[in-house]
Amino acid sequence: MSFLRFHHVFAILMLLSVLSAFVLPARFNHRVSDPARANLQGLFAPVSHPARAVAAWFHDRFAARESRDPRSSQAVADENQKLKVEVANLLGQLQALQRVNADRDRVGPIRPFCTPVPVIGTDPGNRDALNLGGATLGQIAEGQAVAYDLGVVGRVERRGLLGAQVRLITDVGFRVTGKFGKFEQTPRGEVVFTPINSPAPLVEGAGRGLMVVRNLSVADIKKAELQPEEWVVLDDPDWPNLLQNRRIGRIVSVGPQRNHPLHGEVVVQPYSDLLKLREVMVVTKE
Amino acid sequence: MRWLAYFILAYCAIAVQSGAGVYMAYKGAAPNLVLLAVIFIAINAPRDAALLAGFCTGAMWDLLTQQPLGLYALGFGLVALFVAGTQSVVYREHPLTHFSMALVGGLLVAFLLMLHALFRSPEIVRTVQNADGLPTPRVSLLPPFLSAAYTAVLAPFALAALRRVRGVFAFEAPRRRMTF
């Protein structure tokens, strides 16, 4: 191929890239490219999965573990004991309820309703997404909710023969509605989860492992007395019932928006770094 | 250039970036191993092969990301164009060349991502009634720029390591015997 011809071919390729990335509507772009991407992304699994496992091992062994809990270990141990009792009590109540009403057998631990799928990689670009692989892919479908043992993860964005991609709740543009809540101790010494009375917060992905609530006014936030470390849980009719009230994250900071001082900004962070999960649970049965 | 060797390098770089990149990240910015592979190819291969390799590597990367198809193909194509264009005026094996190429290449990709974030906001999963007045969310712009600096620091070491296996790629075009 002469230089002139190659030069033309390269220019056309670059022009097509510009059109695809900057001009074509995102929805159209995804509709056209996602089936191919979903089927081809799994091809990287033979290297990315072991590379991730090795990197995770090194990270666990050598990286300093950061603690996000300001309480003393004794306080945490005490609370754990109380929570264990509480959980045992609640499970007993649930089992009784499940016996009474067959419809309620969806309430309780979510594990039986989920398919565990290993994470083989992350979005190598600047978006928050997980690439899934493994033998259990056949059971999952696009749009299914994804969780892990400590909260909500996101939704299956695309699925192919060899892989699937989960868009995380922290990815920019991802929106769910939730509610605020906190753990309080009753006069009898029981620790109970109490919802905080406020307008429904819209939790938006902000990228870099964070989420933000921007639809509340400063007055709403003051009235609700929101504080760091309080929880945000899922309360969204578009999500499966068994994930309702499941933790989305914890409040990291509360304040006014920089450009709109009358509107509040609540920054929320998942309990774990979702990009470092090694396995997720896809809700395949509802 | 041996294309099989190129594909193995690109495949491994993308797979390791996807699998282990998050564990190498500092302040949310991971080093861009794929960019280093593109620079290695573009700095050594003949111009046409370098441009095509840069574009193809970006297209392969596009398979794994949420961004629209073509964004990274365009970015790495531009990086290959820049690096291949400077082949004759730089000392290819000097660490400072590797550092500066990686820094400029990383900034080029970061600038492209910034342009994309300015003009095209990510697709919103669903519309919510009480969110009508909210401004469109934007992708954070800091990590790609931090990543460019991180990648530039790693570049002299990574490219020196790759230089040791340079023979596998057979970059040199067969020399023609001059006859008079």
pLDDT tens-place string over residues B66-102: 888 899 999 999 999 999 998 888 888 899 999 999 9
Inter-chain touch A55–B20, beta carbons under 8 Å: yes
- pLDDT number for residue A206: 87
Distance CA B110, CA B143 (A): 9
Q: What's the mean pLDDT when you consider all of chain B?
A: 85
- pLDDT number for residue A104: 40
pLDDT tens-place string over residues A101-119: 554 444 457 778 888 889 9
Distance CA B100, CA B39 (A): 11
- pLDDT number for residue A64: 67
**A134 or A268, greater pLDDT:** A268
Nearest Cα neighbor of A283 from A165, A120, A141, A161 is A141
Of the residues B1, B11, B18, the best mutation for testing chain A's interface (the one with the most A CB atoms within 10 Å of its CB) is: B18
- Chain CA centroid to CA A266, Å: 17
Burial of A258 (0-12, 13-18, 19+ CB in 10 A): exposed
| Nearest neighbour of B15 by CB, restricted to A51, A174, A204 | A51
Nearest Cα neighbor of A218 from A251, A267, A254 is A254
In this structure, how many other beta carbons lie within 10 angstroms of the beta carbon of residue A167? 25
pLDDT at B130 over 60: no
Q: How many CB pairs under 8 A join A and B?
A: 202
Inter-chain touch B48–A49, beta carbons under 8 Å: no
pLDDT at A54 over 70: yes
**Domains of chain B and CATH, by start:** 3-119+140-169 (1.10.1760)
Inter-chain touch B124–A58, beta carbons under 8 Å: no
- pLDDT number for residue A107: 41
Does residue A3 sit at the B interface (CB-CB below 8 Å)? yes
| Nearest neighbour of A127 by CB, restricted to B15, B48, B67 | B67
**A76 or B162, greater pLDDT:** B162
| A175-269: CATH class | mainly beta
Rounded to the nearest angstrom, the minimum Cα separation between B55 and chain A is 8
Give the model's confidence band at A60: pLDDT under 50 very low, under 70 low, under 90 confident, else very high.
confident
Does residue A257 sit at the B interface (CB-CB below 8 Å)? no
The DSSP secondary structure of B72-141, one letter per residue, reads: HHHHHHHHHHHHHHTTTTS-TT-HHHHHHHHHHHHHHHHHHHHHHHHH-PPPPS---GGGTTPPPP---S
Residue with tokens 């470390």, as numbered in its chain: A229
Give the model's confidence band at B55: pLDDT under 50 very low, under 70 low, under 90 confident, else very high.
very high
ipTM metric: 0.84
- pLDDT number for residue A89: 61
Instruction: Give the least confident one: A180-189, B36-45, B82-91.
Output: A180-189
Distance CA A209, CA B146 (A): 16
Question: What ranges do the domains of chain A cover?
Answer: 175-269
* Chain B residues touching A167 at Cβ < 8 A: 66, 125
